Amino acid sequence: MSIARYSMIAAAVLALAACGKQQPAEQSAASSPASTPAAESSSGGGDTVKIGHAAPLTGNIAHLGKDNEYGVKMAIDEINEAGGADIGGKKIKFELVSEDDQADPKTATTVAQRFVDQKVVGVVGHLNSGTTIPASKLYSDAGIPQVSPSATAVAYTAQGFKTAFRVMANDAQQGKVLGEYAVQKLGAKKVAIVDDRTAYGQGLADEFEKAAKAAGAEIVKREFTTNQETDFNAILTSIKGAKPDLIFYGGMDAQAAPLKKQAKKLGIAAKVMGGDGTQTPEFIKLAGPDAEGQISSSPGQAKEDMPGGKEFLSKFKEKFGVEVQLYAPYCYDAVKVLVEAMKKAGSTDPAKYLPELAKTDYQGVTGKINFDEKGDVKNGAITIYTVKGGKWEVLEVVGGGAAQ
């Protein structure tokens, strides 16, 4: 090796090292152990193309991120095992490229840029609204279709990006149902609200507050925390003095469970309510006996009542050895919706199949999927649940129509 060539290589190594220092380790997105390395084929030219998936695969809601990843993997595996999808006269197979966005907005944009650079033909994700929204700008700029299976913040599709879609009801729909249910069905007159200040938690709490007020409730306290906090004693002590009939929490199960336990310990008699981020098996596991009586909603019908729910749940358990947590069926449908649009367009080129994606008319596991002009699913159902006997039990289904 010549001295000149050695010097060039050394300089390149130093440059790479310097770039690495500008990106803290905690902000770099690590690939999931279950993900497949990126293929060398281009986005439209080969027999195998890449679909990206992003969710928190580490941290306190990693159980939800893995649930999402499994849903995507299940759909891709089914298509590949059947010999691929017939697209433009070719049998196309798909490759899962799954990334850990750590539920962090900055990491999410790093992941999004990585997907753009790897020429994925579509993205299923992100899980959280707070990561989905900033990432969506990069996908829009690159013209890559994005279907979120779980980000419910209104702001995601309100940006006007033609690449942004979601396959479940949004927070305007969910918050309205929750607020009205709290007042009209549970008889709550005085309500306290706590949220985790994320795009999801605060957004859902805002919509709940709007609906509860319109239904006649008085908001006696509005507090906030973070999506990493587990000690709510100070907030709950303040709330206890206001004597609410109901406490609404906007956030995820990792915080909702200790909040519910601590409310019980403090002798707070108010009912506790949350959104889809709290309606998980993990919530019951974390809250234990104190989970009893929790009221939570989830966009869509109960998993068992979805058109393809029972079969999906059975196949999922057989394949992965675990129960569905929450969003896996929507992830599965998100993949199928992307692939159906490619079939109709006869191409995996995002620019060519994107118009077909907007015209989606697909019967999925979760129900009928059609998108409105913003990319939101039409007529999304909302199901209200309560914990009874250590299990989630359906109280009411609003909208969405009956299972087909």
Mean pLDDT to the nearest integer, 140-156: 96
DSSP 32: P
Tokens in use for 286? 């974390």
Q: Which residues pair with 387 in a beta bridge?
A: 392
Place of tokens 């590949």: 80
Mean pLDDT to the nearest integer, 40-64: 81
Three-class SS state of 403: coil
Is the pLDDT score of 222 beyond 80?
yes
Q: What's the pLDDT at 400?
A: 62
Mean pLDDT to the nearest integer, 95-110: 98
Q: Which residues pair with 148 in a beta bridge?
A: 166
Q: Could you tell me if 169 and 152 are in contact, meaning their C-beta atoms sit under 8 angstroms apart?
A: yes
Question: For 138, what's the count of Cα atoms within 13 Å in the CB-facing half-sphere?
Answer: 23
Three-class SS state of 294: coil
Is the pLDDT score of 15 beyond 70?
no
Band (132; pLDDT cuts 50, 70, 90): very high
CA angle (336, 313, 273) in 5-degree steps? 100
Residue range 250-271, pLDDT digits in tens = 999 999 999 999 999 999 999 9
Band (8; pLDDT cuts 50, 70, 90): very low
The pTM (predicted TM-score) of the whole model is 0.80
Please provide the distance, in angstroms rounded to a whole number, between the alpha carbons at the two ends of the chain.
Answer: 69
More confident: 30 or 120: 120
Q: What's the pLDDT at 36?
A: 38
Least confident of 3-7, 195-199, 213-217: 3-7
- DSSP state string for 218-268: EEEEEEE--TT----HHHHHHHHHH--SEEEEES-HHHHHHHHHHHHHTT-
Cα–Cα distances (Å) from 178 to 138, 152, 153, 209, 272, in that order, read: 33, 14, 15, 9, 12
Residue range 151-208, pLDDT digits in tens = 999 999 999 999 999 999 999 999 999 999 999 999 999 999 999 999 999 999 999 9
Q: Could you tell me if 290 and 264 are in contact, meaning their C-beta atoms sit under 8 angstroms apart?
A: yes
Mean pLDDT of the chain: 89
The pairing of strands 382-388 and 295-299 is antiparallel
Is the pLDDT score of 5 beyond 60?
no
Band (403; pLDDT cuts 50, 70, 90): very low
Helix (H) or strand (E) holding 96: strand 90-100
